[in-house]
Amino acid sequence: MSDRHNTWPCDREDVEILIERVGQLRSEIKAYESKVAIPGDLHEKYRKSAINMVHYMGMRMMDLRELQLLLSEWGLSSIGRAERKVMATIDALLEVLHKLKGQAWCPPEPPPVCHREGRQLLEDHTNDLLGDLPSGRRARIMVTMPEPESIDMALIAELLDNGMDCARINTAQGTPDDWFKVIESIRKAESRTGRKCRILMDLAGPKLRTGAIAPGPEVLKIRPVKNQLGQVVEPAMVWLYPEKTPSTPPAEVKARLPVNGGWIRKTLPGDVLTFRDARNSKRQLVITAASQSGALAALGKTAYFTTGMKLRLIRNGEKIKGKKNHAIGQLAPLDGFINLKAGDTILVYRKNIVGQDAHFDDNGLLQPARVSCSIPDVLEKATIGESVWFDDGKIGGSITGIEEDFITVSITNARPQGTKLRAHKGINLPDTEIDLPALTEEDKAILPFVIKQADIIGMSFVNRPADVDELIRLVNEECRSQGIEAPGIVLKIETRRAFDRLPSLLLSGMKAEKLGVMIARGDLAVECGFERLAEVQEQILWVCEAAHVPVIWATQVLEGLAKQGLPTRAEISDAALGQRAECIMLNKGEHIVEATRSLDDILRRMQDHQTKKRSLLRKLHLAEKFFVKS
């Protein structure tokens, strides 16, 4: 080391070596740039962003950990926050390193994006897609709308007042009439609150799901209110009505039972209906009120009612004679399910069958459980050894056999007591090369409605750049025919293939004027493995920042709070981490207003401490207290 070098307080690598290594890094980034054909039809506002993203991907082709340590020893940038302005960061670093040697250096060409420009581009693209920056908060809040029948303008106004910036409508559920009612409520709530709300409508895409499963028994369990000692403190109030003329029960009623005929109208208060329930337990219903609509009865013990169960009418201690066919009417069957444990086998059929649980006889297994797949073509490319997951990863297994009509899956992951698989639950085949178009015929049919009504279109299960190209083409054609501005497009990254192709998907998406990405962490965790989700979502954030594309952080954010009214410590931390994205999505739940208010508070607190990967050195009250105490 030189004498000059020894005048520094700590030993470090010679600056000449750093100049050589950083210069080599710059050359390799430029070499990677030359290998990528950036589409000529990108929207003009994304051209610089596309080049910067390519530079970032070129930089990440190399292991820079040692170089980062050497640079930090000189108190220089470790290149760890170069996403928004890659070449500007490299060039500034080279300039400083040359000055340390007393040399002049000037880059051969200006960088595509300068330092402040990179930040401004991301902010502009975010505002274009998600609306103006909310007061006092950088990250937007998106809320998935509840079912149309449970939503009104007052609820949406409350959500807006508590921080909602964007509403999400899932077109996999409901009809255009349902969606329009929700949209009308949103627009009315905007006028009432004076707050703007962007509307994102998700296209359903080709979601793989389990088919129908045989329904369970026609049985209804009714039980009274008990205390912690198991003592009945309040009977269950049951509404009995003629099954052919359903009627509205009193407000306090928790259960309704149809009966086969109009005889129930002739019952009197004090009459008793005795019966043996599905377990052959003796039970009775005591009539407390009666009318032409039906009768109100009190049940003092838990009972299981089944279709056709016989009832005996007792008045003043005597059975009423001449009344025939006193029985429970048609009850709705319970949802069917298949209970699966580790070691079980399930057959997944290509043809449309009704799913069944496993059948046993005295000698053991007679017929394995079986279920159909909503998109049978995907099973054609499945091979033995590949993994299969059901219901957002609650049940997992591997393919152990392939037949003409079905594949055999051996279950490896489930609860010890078994996990219930129900109809219309998701199927993931993360190892299988699935080549389905992201736009289904159903998506294309509703696209004109979505384009006209939505500010943003969410593209589900996108896997190929060609999918994005097709959506942009259809949107542009429809907008020209309607004479309206094109809505923004959000690419939902929810498969391993979409993650692997993210840079290419972004290059195609940059042909639109407004672009965003949603990290759909539910399916993505199943596809990539739960243990890899943290790593995967970080990489998506980095690449999108390099492309100056806003990110929506989605799935199970504050889910416990939204659904049960009580958050967990882990989900509070998760919500705080999510503020590195430009928007965070909450799912629907009974306590969604409280969840929105809490998320708004968390984001306002965290934005002074963290932005993207960079920790912000705001004055810490903890430090102030320490020195005051000292």
Question: How confident is the model over 28-46, as pLDDT tens digits?
Answer: 999 999 999 999 999 999 9
Q: How far apart are CA 614 and CA 542, in angstroms?
A: 12
Looking at residue 7, what is its pLDDT?
A: 61
pLDDT at 3: 46
How far apart, in Å, do the first and last CA atoms of the chain sit? 42
> What's the pLDDT at 435?
81
pLDDT at 261: 84
Nearest in space to 37 (alpha carbons), one of 366, 440, 508, 494: 508
- How many Cα neighbours within 13 Å face the side chain of 586? 37
Tell me which of 329-343, 441-455, 599-613 is least confident. Answer: 599-613
Give yes or no for a contact between 110 and 136, defined as CB atoms under 8 angstroms apart: no
Distance from the Cα of residue 211 to its chain's centroid? 21
Across the range 58-87, mean pLDDT stands at: 91
501 vs 620 pLDDT, higher one: 501
441 vs 614, higher pLDDT: 441
Cα–Cα distance measured from residue 357 to residue 334, given in angstroms and rounded to the nearest whole number? 14
Q: Give SS3 for 278.
A: coil
* C-alpha to C-alpha distance for 403 and 368, rounded to whole angstroms: 14
**Coil/strand/helix, residue 202:** strand
pLDDT band of residue 282 (cuts 50, 70, 90) is: very high
With beta carbons less than 8 A apart as the criterion, state whether 148 and 178 touch.
yes
Q: Which of 506, 587, 508 is nearest to 549 (CA)?
A: 506
Domain architecture of the chain: domains with CATH: 3-113 (no CATH), 124-203+442-467+482-492+515-524+542-615 (3.20.20.60), 219-319 (2.40.33), 337-428 (2.40.33.10)
Q: For 138-188, what is each residue's pLDDT tens digit? A: 999 999 999 887 888 999 999 999 999 999 999 999 999 999 999 999 999
323: pLDDT strictly greater than 70: no
Per-residue confidence band for 122, with pLDDT thresholds at 50, 70 and 90: very high
What pLDDT, on a 0 to 100 scale, did the predictor assign at position 324?
A: 58
- For residues 80 and 43, the answer to whether their CB atoms sit within 8 Å is no
- The predicted structure's pLDDT at residue 614: 72
DSSP line for 514-565:
SEEEEEEHHHHHHHH-GGGHHHHHHHHHHHHHHTT--EEEESSTTHHHHHHS
Give the Å distances, CA to CA, from 450 to 441, 447, 588.
Answer: 14, 5, 21
pLDDT confidence of residue 2: 47
478-487 contacts: CB < 8 A, separation 24 or more? 478/447, 478/448, 478/451, 479/451, 482/448, 482/451, 482/452, 484/451, 484/452, 486/451, 486/512, 486/513, 486/514, 487/450, 487/451, 487/454, 487/455, 487/456, 487/457, 487/514
Q: Work out the pLDDT band at 9, boundaries 50, 70, 90.
A: low
* pLDDT at 624 exceeding the cut of 80: no
Q: Report the predicted TM-score, pTM, of the whole model to 2 decimal places.
A: 0.85
The more confident residue out of 252 and 296 is: 296
CB atoms near residue 122 (< 10 Å):
23
Question: Has residue 613 got a pLDDT over 70?
Answer: yes
Mean pLDDT, rounded, for 103-127: 95
Give pLDDT tens digits for 340-362: 999 999 999 999 999 999 998 88
Average pLDDT over the chain, rounded to an integer: 92
Residues 6+ positions from 327 with CB-CB distance below 8 Å: 259, 260, 308, 309, 310, 311
Q: Which residues pair with 209 in a beta bridge?
A: 426
pLDDT at 101 over 80: yes
- DSSP E strand boundaries for 324-390: 337-340, 345-349, 359-361, 364-367, 369-372, 387-390
In the three-class reduction of DSSP (H, G, I as helix; E, B as strand; rest coil), residue 97 is classed as helix
Q: How confident is the model at residue 364 (pLDDT cuts 50, 70, 90)?
A: confident
Model pLDDT, residue 420: 96
Range among 48-52, 76-80, 380-384 rated most confident: 48-52
The two beta strands, 419-422 and 515-520, are: unpaired
What are the tens digits of pLDDT across the range 206-221?
989 999 999 999 999 9
SS3 content of the chain, % helix, strand, coil (to 5): 35, 25, 40
pLDDT at site 444 = 97
Tens-place pLDDT, residues 549-595: 999 999 889 999 999 998 889 899 988 888 899 999 999 999 999 99
Residue 13 has pLDDT above 80, yes or no: no
User: Is the confidence at residue 488, as pLDDT, over 50?
Assistant: yes
